[in-house]
Structure 1
Amino acid sequence: MIATALRIVAVTATLGIGIAAASAQSAEPARPQLKTHVTVNANIVRIGDLIDNAGIVADVAIFRAPDLGTTGTVPVAAVVEAVRPHALVGFDTGGATEITVTRAAREIPISEIERSLAEAVSSRFNAGPAADITVTFDRDPRAIQVDPSSRGDIAIARLSYDARSSRFDATLEIPTGATQRGLLRLSGRAYATAEVVMVSHSVDRGAVLRAADLQVERRPRAEVGRDAIVGIERAIGMAARSVIRPGQPLRSADLTRPEIVQRGQMVTLVFEAPGLTLTLRGKATEAGAEGDTVTVLNEQSKRSVQGVVVGPGHVVVSTTVPRFAANLPAAAGTGP
């Protein structure tokens, strides 16, 4: 009986030891693990940024972070040496040889800076609508990277502008942090522009322009004459008066209505009078666009008449005075 009781106690003790060991294993902290790709928000890199499960040394700074919005690399060997004084050894590197570290940032694009300057020039110097003002810089600035916590818009702290030369000099306030703002000085030109229509390639005389032949660009308003074509739809379907080269704004004088009757072309000549319509064939002695007055030769009668071009190969001769039958040609072939 006593022996049986002792065996029960022994088994219970053994089970207790096993449970305690299992509990000890479950309570053992996870092994530190090296990361291979890291993004940091501060200007320093801490141990915890590079190593998971770093414990009480996670907040210890060991490296300087890359510049805002940029990425750098650090050798794993350098990380091992940096954490050695903090008693963090034997962590799992996963076989990596280097770690990439990216500094998080919020980008302020150049377009936002241009828009702010255009709005300031427009409102302060009455330079026309901001949407029509083009801004160029003496030195091409790059997109500005600021802390992700930065809030607020760009502000114009100082702006000088010469309307005659279109030159400006400005100091901008840029949000760089949650409460911080930095100064950026820029200079360049800000000038009013207008959309102009140009050909995208050389166009021969008489060629009819299609949408594929045209492009729209903005040019300084001072360089755009009053007769410049504004609106691509005004050029489509028109013909070139002479050869047109690319790079120059199209002007009204460059275009004409397309000729739909060619010199020497056989056309249908329609004679119209009150109560009478007579159709003949004739030969155009000059070219003309729709609405133009051209001369047509009746090759049978050898008489020339003038009529208005109303369509491709169609010329109409009209009169409000009726002609008596005795005055009309004896046959359709003789013509007026």
Structure 2
Amino acid sequence: MTQTPADIARGVLHTEAAALTRLGDELPSDFNAVVTRLLQIPGRVIVSGMGKSGHVAGKIAATLASTGTPAQAVHPGEASHGDLGMITAADAVILISNSGETRELADIIAHTRRFAIPLIAITRNPDSTLATQANFVLTLPDAPEACAIGMAPTTSTTMTMALGDALAVALMQHRGFDRENFLTFHPGGTLGAQLIKVRAAMHKGDALPVVSPDTGMGETLLVMSAKGFGVAAVVEDGGLTGVITDGDLRRNLDGLMERRAGDVATPNPRSISPDILLIEALGVMNAAKISAIFVVEKEQLVGLVHIHDALRAGVA
């Protein structure tokens, strides 16, 4: 019976999933030693491979670099024509070759041996030239490729990329790499937006709609209109004691202009810390069905965040 494209796809995915499970069960014995060594080097992790392994090397290097481990991908062909100068004695090198006999890696291997640069091999063949020259060997299970002819790099590249992810995550956790560090390396796009803190996005100083408890409601309305947030903070000795919203105004229409801000405000208002993520502030506003929230630090009013700030930052 002829297989449908969906049948073929399921076969590929099941084959590769089985190989990843096996890799997890048979994690290379040198894995812990590799992580320990990479944590010790003063330089960068150089990652290289030829063909499809070269593309995987680029991804591994990028993942390492974005999670706190300085790394760079070097093409083995370019390395043989001058780029070996990018690899210093302060670095460590990860070379990827499924067979372990990729000719184009010979010059990098020789360079690491000449200058005593730690060499880590990722290969399926523990008896290969690459493996025997390396200081550490991360051996991949001898799992079948997922293509029909069993030759196209599929399962092997998937395992290699997953092993690179495992290295990156182990290194980042041992370095104590946290969300703030992650933001440093991801300032743009959706990832960066999701890691922005309230402190970086809030309005502060003269931009805040602030009145005292004794401020007349005529002046309070002028402040609310001028600042444009639709709310006013009632502040005493720097502390937030109440908030006036459009709802408060509607509930107090009778004799509103004869009242004081402290009489109209909702006491003990909801507030947030400047050190929470902007996306968390958005969650608080959505849950409370409010469009703005004041920011308090050490019992002092320090800012205000409007839902539009989250939209502009790309959080919502």
TM-score by length of 2: 0.23
Q: TM-score, normalised by structure 1?
A: 0.22
Q: Which has the higher contact order (CA 8 A, sep 6+)?
A: 2
Which has the larger helix fraction? 2
The structure with the largest alpha-carbon Rg is 1
